[in-house]
Chains A and B, each alone.
Chain A
Amino acid sequence: TQLLEQSPQFLSIQEGENLTVYCNSSSVFSSLQWYRQEPGEGPVLLVTVVTGGEVKKLKRLTFQFGDARKDSSLHITAAQPGDTGLYLCAGLLSNTNAGKSTFGDGTTLTVKP
């Protein structure tokens, strides 16, 4: 059973469109992180959310942590081709090393010019 489920698995949109990807679980997380991974590279951390209901913004990206700390969403406004990549969410079940996070299976985003 997948602890963290991401949806959609694949998303292909035109430049300028908005999109939201989701990360859902039945477990409560101490913190949740979002990463972006480009082809041929490792994941790069975008944001960490730790408080239920927390909203963080990174330029055109808006991250939200669910009130119950079981789910999260990533919203991208006016997507650009440079946003193309694999988006991964990762949750920590307790206060422990960041490397022990449980990863979702990712959302592959393609933004066409």
Chain B
Amino acid sequence: ETGVTQTPRHLVMGMTNKKSLKCEQHLGHNAMYWYKQSAKKPLELMFVYNFKEQTENNSVPSRFSPECPNSSHLFLHLHTLQPEDSALYLCASSLGQGIRNEKLFFGSGTQLSVL
């Protein structure tokens, strides 16, 4: 148990569906992140939130829409996805203080399959 909880653990959706991924952290952290992990590729940082404000969007297609209502919760809204979007989506959090030995805590991920 890392203190970062993601739901659902598995999701199968069609290309016309709309779904949302949820992430909650109980660590008192100020920074939260969405990553995409595809087979045989490095972890890709998608979005960064610091104190509820989005500070980074790494050229992510608009069919992925993040939402951070408070420092403890992070959502990723999905719509009209493509089969190549199938991957493990990981949420993470950290203190957000920018010190070089800051620790990153990951959730267990949502395994997404787009049919």
Contacts and interface: CB of A to CB of B under 8 A. Distances in A.
A105 B43 CA distance: 7
A100 B92 CA distance: 11
Interface stretch (B59-67, B75-83, B94-102): B94-102
Contacts of B103: 45, 48, 98
Contacts of A90: 43, 104
A106 B99 CA distance: 24
Contact of A97 (B41, B94, B108): B94
A97 B100 contact: no
B92 A99 contact: yes
B33 A42 contact: no
B50 interface: yes
Candidate in A30, A33, A100 with the most chain B CB atoms within 10 angstroms:
A100
A100 B100 contact: no
A110 to B, nearest CB: 16
A1 B6 CA distance: 31
A45 B50 CA distance: 21
Given A97-B31, A100-B56, A44 B42 contact: no
Nearest to A104: B42
A33 B98 contact: no
Contact of B33 (A44, A50, A88, A99): A99
B101 A105 contact: no
A103 interface: yes
Candidate in B4, B6, B56, B105 with the most chain A CB atoms within 10 angstroms:
B105
The 8 nearest A-B residue pairs measured at CB = A42-B106, A99-B33, A98-B102, A103-B43, A31-B100, A98-B104, A98-B94, A103-B42
Interface of A: 2, 4, 30-31, 33, 40-45, 48, 50, 88, 90, 92, 95-106
Given A98-B94, A105-B40, 13 more contacts: A40-B109, A41-B108, A42-B6, A42-B109, A44-B106, A92-B100, A95-B99, A97-B50, A98-B31, A98-B102, A100-B45, A100-B48, A106-B42
